[in-house]
Amino acid sequence: MQIVQSDTIDKLPFSVATIGCFDGVHRGHRFLIEQVCTEARKRGLNSMLITFPVHPRQVMQKSYQPELLSCPAEKESLLLQQQADYCLLLPFTQELSQYSAKQFMQLLHEQYHVRALVIGYDHRFGHNRSEGFTDYCRYGKELGMEIVQAKGLVEEGISISSSAIRRLLSEGQIEQANHFLGYNYSLEGTVTEGFKIGRKLGFPTANIQPACGDKLIPGNGVYAVRVHLDAHCYPAMLNIGYRPTVNNGNNLSIEAHILNYSGDIYHCPVRIEFISFIRKEAKFEDLTALSRQLEEDRKNVTRMFSSLSGVYGSQQ
């Protein structure tokens, strides 16, 4: 795939295209991309994905917190793995937000050489998103652009979508979210210094400051994770929450205890790969009770990793 900017439109050939944010580039997106590639081959045209470097709602609402499944660099990396010929990065502007669906389709047809547009089963575009597939077909006929309606990927009655995956992650349903994604969800960040309470309890932790403030943090609780550090991968248990036992207030913490590891990793970049949900966050009577629970968590995480094949290899 070749990623192109909107200012290189003169180099774009005629294509079959689709439009989307492609947040997470999950299995639902890949199913759509496969359909685009199939339709392009049928017509002897190139296949193209059209996406936006910045989420459209962030342009429309400056205060909007998107809770992304993939930061821009991650999304670009995931898109590069797909089979489409081109990916057009189209800046979403205030001016573009005022385009009607027909005006936007005309832009795609005349400037970006789109000859057929594959539209996601639930996708709407244009000012106020008030028009639907029937309207798109009528405008396409007027413009000389073929409109194809894509099928959605549905499993057990659930449409695989970014919103469904966000809900699963927020509820701590990591295994199902990973299944829908087609890879293990992860967070990148830097190890920062904390209060070192875990060290006093015999469970030293690496406090993680996420690198992308717009990326979704899974729901509070304890997780089995892999920590990717200096080209190595380590099994670990991770807590996300407000540490109610030590009165952490409203400060959300993300801290990982790497199993059987010792070393100074302050200020080191890490990637946390989520594998499984262990339990919800809870408040304990005292630090002794917390320590007992942490030991039980460690045993559970150790057992879980020992049952997995290729424990030290990433699945992403």
Convert the pLDDT of each residue in 111-159 to its tens digit.
Answer: 999 999 999 777 778 766 778 889 999 999 999 999 999 999 999 899 9
**Three-state SS across 92-119?**
CCHHHHCCCHHHHHHHHHHHCCEEEEEE
Looking at the whole model, is its pTM more than 0.95? Answer: no
| Distance in angstroms (rounded) separating the CA atoms of residues 173 and 184 | 12
- pLDDT grade for 277, boundaries at 50, 70 and 90: very high
Using one digit for the tens of pLDDT, what is the confidence trace for 159-186? 999 999 999 999 999 999 999 999 999 9
Query: Quick one: what percent of the chain has pLDDT higher than 70?
Result: 91
pLDDT at 312: 41
Using one digit for the tens of pLDDT, what is the confidence trace for 297-312? 999 999 999 887 544 4
Average pLDDT over residues 178-195: 91
Question: What average pLDDT does the chain have?
Answer: 88
Residue 63: pLDDT over 60: yes
> Is residue 47 classed exposed, middle or buried when 0-12, 13-18 and 19+ CB atoms within 10 A define those classes?
buried
Give whichever of 3-12, 35-44, 265-274 has the largest mean pLDDT: 35-44
Element (H, E) at 305: helix 287-306
Rg (the chain; Cα; Å): 23
